[in-house]
Amino acid sequence: MLVYLRLFKESFSFAINALRNNKLRTFLSLLGITIGIFSIIAVLSAVDSLDKSIKEQLSGLDSNTMYVAKFSFGPTDVPRWKRLQFPEVSYNEYKHLKSSLNDAEHVAYQLFVQRENIRYGKEMMTSVNTVVVSNEFEDIQALKFSKGRFYNESESNSGKPVVVIGDEVAKALFGEFEPIGKKVRLYGQKFAVIGVVKKEGSGLFGDSNDVSIFLPANYVRNRFGDNNTNMNHIVIIKPDSGADVAELKADIVQKMRARRGIKPNEINPFFVNIISGLQDAIDGIISTLNIIGWVISAFSLLVGGFGIANIMFVSVKERTNLIGIQKSLGAKNRFILFQFLFEAIILSVLGGLIGIVLVWILSLIASGMVEDFEFILSFYNIFLGFALSTLIGLISGVIPAISASKLDPVEAIRSGM
């Protein structure tokens, strides 16, 4: 056992000395592996960070929440030309579903409208995300408030000109002043501010509640009508706790078809989208991004591996005479093999460690620059980078090491003369 430990120690020392004596060559070899490991760990860490951020923000929603609309959240077999002919979900259909669904805890109505400018005195915030919804939206989204409240059912049904604003909107318009009770101008009319949504950070697919305003859907309906082509209609349904989601979806489909008079042989001119389906679609996208990252990074790793192999063959050629002398003095084949194999592994591992450190520095910079987004460098990715670099060094160095260990000592000494 002690003989093998001494063998490892001496082989390691020879490898370190060889790397020190060829600093430029060592640097160029390190560069290839560093770029390869940096690429793959940076891509995987970025995808992991994105995945974590998306899932954290989706966690605030019930995964069984359903969205009834004329459009689909994911891929569909219905051709685009046919989807464009689907009618919008109407307010009366929302009322019908709300009164007739047995397993629905909350049913809300939403209109997707254009962004609006909101003004208070001389202060104005332009192109604000405008969320036009019925009062049940508060319970479905589990909104939290730093001040005030959401509009109630009476205010929602009557379309009263009241507005709930996000944290950033409140700061932009009122600064340190109290916003509750103040009148802001929107759609050319004054709206009373009745609530400020608690700060939550960046949004999932765009604007967050911090930069949004909320107003009753019936105000917009009363002002612009239901047939405005600039608006899209949607019904949001949150199932009761413990409800059979598949059964509820079938019930929604049956009631929508009956109300619209759809014949048995006709397709549904609407979609019932479920958040869990969106999560599955996101998981599929994340998996695809991971595969793309692996493919792109594999080329960098391949180049780095070839670089180390090439350097090791050159190293064997340069030290042929020394190998012959070592063998003539009694060095075993395995000593020569370990000497070159360790050199390749040390090169690769060192390059991998530099790549990991660079990713760590990048993660700190990215987390500091992007608000409310944490760039994650997990232990798994660190271990993966270390393991990959070791494996590349082993594979790249094994053939040059074997060729060096099999050299005939007499021929090796003669070639160096």
Query: Per-residue pLDDT tens for 274-298?
Result: 876 566 666 777 777 778 777 776 7
Contacts of 276-281 with C-beta under 8 Å, sequence gap 24+, read 276/63, 276/64, 276/245, 277/73, 277/74, 278/58, 278/73, 278/74, 279/55, 279/58, 279/63, 281/73, 281/74, 281/75
Is it the case that residue 51 has pLDDT exceeding 80?
no
Residue 183: enclosing H or E segment and its boundaries? strand 183-186
Candidate ranges 62-71, 192-201, 354-363, 389-398; pick with highest mean pLDDT: 192-201
Q: What is the pLDDT of residue 202?
A: 60
Is it the case that residue 417 has pLDDT exceeding 70?
no
pTM exceeding the 0.95 threshold for the entire prediction? no
8 Å CB contact between 254 and 65:
no
**What is the tens place of the pLDDT at every residue in 177-187?**
899 999 999 99
Contacts of 373-376 with C-beta under 8 Å, sequence gap 24+, read 373/49, 373/53, 373/202, 374/49, 374/52, 374/53, 375/45, 375/46, 375/49, 376/45, 376/48, 376/49, 376/52
Is it the case that residue 170 has pLDDT exceeding 90?
yes
Q: What is the pLDDT of residue 414?
A: 65
**What is the tens place of the pLDDT at every residue in 204-262?**
455 678 889 999 999 999 998 888 888 899 999 999 888 888 899 999 999 999 999 99
Is it the case that residue 65 has pLDDT exceeding 80?
yes
What residues contact 60, with CB distance under 8 A and at least 6 apart? Answer: 141, 142
The residue ranking higher by pLDDT, 123 or 9, is 123
Domain chopping of the chain, boundaries: 2-57+281-415, 87-269
